Each structure stands twice: as C-alpha cells, then as structure tokens.
C-alpha cells in the first residue's frame, strides 16, 4: 500500500523560490559576519543529553527532542522503571542523545572542548537549525534556523560597538529600516537597588512599557498592585517619565542612580558606546530603552533588540553581554557578547516589503527551446559557451510541444528563452525572447553574453 506522504507538524519543506530567498538572507548575514572578522563553526545536530539537560530550565528540558538509543534500548530497564510513571527518568534511560535546542549551549560546549585550539578573543558565527518540541503555531516552528555571532574571551566594550555596527550593516544591505533598542542590565539592577526591590525588575519594566498606552496614573497603580511601596514608586517617577535624546536620558539616569555603583557602571557603559559611535555613526536609529528586559537571567551588561520600522512584527534581532558562558562545563571566566538574527522573521519582513533584489532568485538565466536533434546540437554548443561565461543556462531536455517548454520557462521564472531553428542556424544567430517584456530579438551569442552579464 502506498503511504500518503506528510511531514511532521511544525516542520517545513522549502521550495526552490523559498530557498533562493533564504540563501539571500543567510549569505547577506554571513558576508557581514566575515567582513567584521567572525569565523564560522558547526556543531552536530545531536548532542549528549547530559550536555543539554538542565540548561534551559524545566520547561526547556521537556521541549528537547530526545533520540531513542540504538539497538536494544530496553536493556537495563526494569518493569518497575516503566510502570513507575516517572517519564522524565525513563526518557533519560531510553535516550542518551537529543537534538540541539539552540546554538549557545553547543557553542559553550565547543569552546570548552577546543579551548587549547582556540585563540581568544574568539569571534565565531554559526548558522544552523535548532529543534524544539513546542506546540506549533503561526510563525512558531519545531525546526528553525538560528544565526548567531558571539565574541568570547574579551570584556572590551568595543565588541558591543562592533556588533551594533554589524547589525546596522546587515539591515542596510537588506534595505530594512530598523530601530535598534539598547539597554543595560546594570542600569536595571541599579534601579532595583535604589528602590530596594531587587526581585521586581521585570514587573517594573513591564509597567513602564505601558506608559504610552495607559498613562502615568495607571502605571503607578500597576506597580502598587505588584507590591511595590509608595516610597519606591515616588523614587521611580523620573525613570518612568524618562524621555528626550539618548544623552538626555543618560543625564537623568546618572543623577537618579548616583547612589548605586552598579547603576552608574551601566550608565558609563552606554556613554562609552555612544561616544564611540560618534566617529562612525549608525545609519539606523539607536534608542536607549529601559523597558528592554530580554534574557534577564542571562545578560549582565548590554541588552539589544532590533525592531523593523515598517512592519508590525516582534524583534528581528537580539543579544547582549553575558558572564560565564562555560562555567557549567567547568571552564570559568569566559564572558562574551553576542547577537542572534531571526531568519524566519527577516524572511517575513523582506516578503512584506518586497525587498528581494532581482538577482537573488538565482534561477536559470536563459533556457533554449528544444526542436530536435539537429537544433539541439547547436544549442548545446551555445550553452557551453554561456556557462563558461558564468551564465546559468539550460536546454529543455526533450523535443516537447512549444507550449510545454515555454510553460516550464515561465514556471521557473527564467529571464530569457533562446530559440534556434533552421533560419537562426543559417544566420548563425539566436532569437532571444525577453520573458518579462515579451520582446524578441535576433542576436549573436556574444551579444547575448554581453546582454545577460
């Protein structure tokens, strides 16, 4: 019996057209990574579960795809193990390996395993799929690509500056107008410190974020409902109402956080970045935004996020500075800063704004119609010459009906069709049809090479 084929939910096939677009995205990002001195690595799709487990929280452990041990996977498992109902424990006995959940933990594992071969600071990038057993929904997949760049083994803030310039260059190349939001974990800590509410950072940033929508009174009300005392809320007022230019915001913060060493350190770090960017300014806008609180358990310095200005969609790039990437694998003291591009969202943005350059389609540039053996022989010589000139060329492999051959060229979005019949062979020329205008011209091979190149 024939099986009706399907693919696992949350996964995707990519058609030639989608692949051309994705290659354009990955190539653009990779080229900029390399322009800035980053080098690519790859790690295996499968990691030992001992490497992955416990790194993404309890929820993350559940979302790991686990791989059934090969051979006799039941050996060493007792009937009690099975009937105990402890599926986590049983899964750990049935499976030694799991699929990569992100690129960060495998990168940390890579750094520790290859510490003696790596020359620090290590600027690496990685473009690979990751897998998560999340409930699939619109825009959320069980297999998707991450594009990460990190510098590890250097505390210099110059790395933050370089990464901001790198993001700016990538979006300039894409032609996507973006706003780059910047925050610093030390400032958030400083705020919590001065009001004496260390564990309320998230509540505070969430509330501040609503200022434009619900107004100051309601923000204060929300803070109160989270158990923050009135005295603290009073101290927070200048921070909630923070506005103006980046420099103006930093001036206010410097003042308000004067009693927090950590907070002032955060302000200084942002000032350093703004100073450095004065000599080579970004093309995108850069906005200091205290409501940015992504990766709060992880980031220790800069926090950054990129939003597309012309499309309503979540953050399309994010990152920050972290301490102690590799401590969990027994190698302390490796800090770093990194960013991650969201390829799937960039794909959506480029589609919505129709920003793919024409030549990113990477399809055949000229197809020859096949009229039979004699004409075919002439076309094959032409095709060899075209390919030698770097032009993507093909001939329809059979002497099929003209309509079928033209339909093929049409469906494949081929730019030109070459027609070589008796008349053209005698004239030593090619009848070239421009598939978008319909225009037809009798040209020599060399004229066609010049035209298409």
- Binders of a copy of itself in range 52-111 (CB under 8 A): 62-63, 65-68, 70-74, 79, 82-83, 87, 90-91, 94-97, 99, 109-110
Rounded to a whole number of angstroms, the minimum distance from the CB of residue 68 to a copy of itself is 4
Residue 154 in the binding site for a copy of itself (CB under 8 A):
yes
Let me know: does 296 contact 320? Beta carbons within 8 Å. Answer: no
Q: Which one, of 180, 47, 39, lies nearest residue 104 by Cα?
A: 47
CA distance 329 to 69: 24
In terms of phi and psi (left: phi > 0; alpha: psi -120 to 50; beta: otherwise), the region of 284 is: beta
Residue 402 in the binding site for a copy of itself (CB under 8 A):
no
Residue 376 in the binding site for a copy of itself (CB under 8 A):
yes
- Binding segment for a copy of itself (CB under 8 A), chosen from 151-159, 238-246, 315-323, 421-429, is 151-159
Report the residue number, 411 or 436, with the smaller CB distance to a copy of itself. 411
What stretch of H or E contains 92? helix 87-94
Residue 408 in the binding site for a copy of itself (CB under 8 A):
yes
Let me know: does 356 contact 405? Beta carbons within 8 Å. Answer: no
CA 106 to chain CA centroid, Å, is 17
Restricted to residues 112-131, the positions that interact with a copy of itself (CB under 8 A) are 112-114, 117, 119-121, 123-124, 129, 131
Rounded to a whole number of angstroms, the minimum distance from the CB of residue 361 to a copy of itself is 10
CA distance 190 to 300: 12
Residue 428 in the binding site for a copy of itself (CB under 8 A):
no
**In whole angstroms, how large is the CA radius of gyration of the chain?**
29
Q: Is residue 171 classed exposed, middle or buried when 0-12, 13-18 and 19+ CB atoms within 10 A define those classes?
A: buried
Residue 40 in the binding site for a copy of itself (CB under 8 A):
yes
- Binding segment for a copy of itself (CB under 8 A), chosen from 232-240, 305-313, 374-382, 422-430, is 374-382
Rounded to a whole number of angstroms, the minimum distance from the CB of residue 226 to a copy of itself is 34
Number of residues that bind a copy of itself (CB under 8 A): 110
Please give, one letter per residue, the 3-state secondary structure of 299-365: EEEEEEEEEECCCCCCCCEEEEEECCCCHHHCCCCCCEEEEEECHHHHHHHHHHHCCCCHHHHCCCC
Restricted to residues 301-360, the positions that interact with a copy of itself (CB under 8 A) are 327-330
Residue 143 in the binding site for a copy of itself (CB under 8 A):
yes
Q: Which one, of 337, 334, 314, lies nearest residue 326 by Cα?
A: 334
Residue 151 in the binding site for a copy of itself (CB under 8 A):
yes
Among 307, 345, 412, 441, binds a copy of itself (CB under 8 A): 412
Residue 384 in the binding site for a copy of itself (CB under 8 A):
yes
Rounded to a whole number of angstroms, the minimum distance from the CB of residue 326 to a copy of itself is 9
CA distance 125 to 379: 44
Among 262, 315, 360, 363, binds a copy of itself (CB under 8 A): 363
Restricted to residues 159-188, the positions that interact with a copy of itself (CB under 8 A) are 159, 162, 165, 169
Rounded to a whole number of angstroms, the minimum distance from the CB of residue 336 to a copy of itself is 11
Residue 156 in the binding site for a copy of itself (CB under 8 A):
yes
Report the residue number, 26 or 298, with the smaller CB distance to a copy of itself. 26
CA distances from 416 to 194, 369, 400, 404, 451 (A): 69, 11, 18, 16, 11
Rounded to a whole number of angstroms, the minimum distance from the CB of residue 138 to a copy of itself is 18
Other C-beta atoms lying within 10 Å of the C-beta of residue 132? 22
Let me know: does 61 contact 53? Beta carbons within 8 Å. Answer: yes
Residue 133 in the binding site for a copy of itself (CB under 8 A):
yes
- Binding segment for a copy of itself (CB under 8 A), chosen from 4-12, 191-199, 343-351, 433-441, is 4-12
């Amino acid at each position: 019996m024939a099986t009706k084929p399907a693919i696992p939910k949350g996964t995707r096939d990519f058609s030639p057209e989608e692949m051309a677009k994705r290659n354009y995205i990955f190539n653009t990002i990779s080229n900029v990574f390399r322009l800035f001195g980053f080098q690519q690595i790859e790690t295996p799709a499968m990691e030992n579960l001992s490497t992955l487990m416990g790194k993404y929280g309890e929820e993350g452990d559940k979302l790991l795809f686990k791989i059934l041990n090969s051979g006799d996977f039941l050996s060493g498992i007792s009937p009690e193990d099975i009937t105990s109902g402890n599926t986590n424990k049983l899964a750990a006995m049935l499976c030694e390996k799991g699929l990569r959940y992100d690129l960060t933990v495998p990168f940390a594992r890579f750094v520790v395993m290859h510490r003696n071969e790596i020359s620090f600071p290590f600027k690496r990038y990685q473009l690979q799929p990751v897998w998560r057993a999340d409930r699939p929904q619109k825009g959320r997949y069980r297999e998707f690509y991450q594009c990460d760049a990190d510098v590890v083994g250097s505390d210099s803030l110059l790395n933050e500056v370089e990464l901001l310039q790198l993001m700016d260059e990538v979006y300039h190349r894409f032609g996507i107008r973006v706003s780059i939001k910047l925050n610093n974990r030390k400032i958030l800590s400083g705020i919590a410190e001065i009001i004496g509410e260390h564990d309320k950072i998230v509540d505070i940033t969430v509330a501040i974020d609503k200022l434009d929508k619900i107004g100051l009174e309601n923000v204060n009300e929300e803070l109160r409902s989270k158990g923050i005392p009135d005295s603290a809320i009073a101290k927070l007022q200048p921070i909630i109402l923070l506005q103006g230019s980046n420099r103006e915001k930093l001036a206010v913060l410097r003042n308000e956080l004067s009693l927090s060493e950590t907070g002032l350190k955060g302000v200084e770090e942002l000032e350093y970045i703004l100073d450095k960017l004065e000599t080579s300014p970004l093309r995108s806008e850069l906005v200091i935004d205290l409501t940015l609180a992504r990766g709060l358990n992880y980031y220790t310095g800069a926090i950054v996020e990129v939003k597309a200005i012309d499309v309503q969609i979540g953050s399309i790039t994010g990152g920050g500075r972290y301490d102690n990437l590799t401590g969990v694998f027994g190698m302390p003291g490796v800090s770093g800063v990194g960013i991650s591009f969201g390829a799937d969202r960039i794909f959506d943005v480029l589609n919505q704004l129709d920003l793919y350059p024409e030549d990113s389609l990477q399809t055949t540039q000229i197809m020859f119609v096949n009229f039979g053996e004699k004409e075919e022989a002439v076309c094959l010589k032409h095709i060899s010459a075209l390919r030698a000139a770097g032009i993507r060329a093909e001939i329809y492999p059979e002497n099929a009906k003209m309509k079928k051959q033209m339909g093929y060229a049409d469906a494949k979005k081929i730019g030109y069709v070459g027609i070589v019949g008796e008349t053209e062979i005698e004239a030593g020329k090619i009848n070239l049809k421009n598939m978008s205008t319909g225009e037809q011209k009798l040209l020599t091979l060399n004229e066609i090479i010049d035209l298409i190149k």
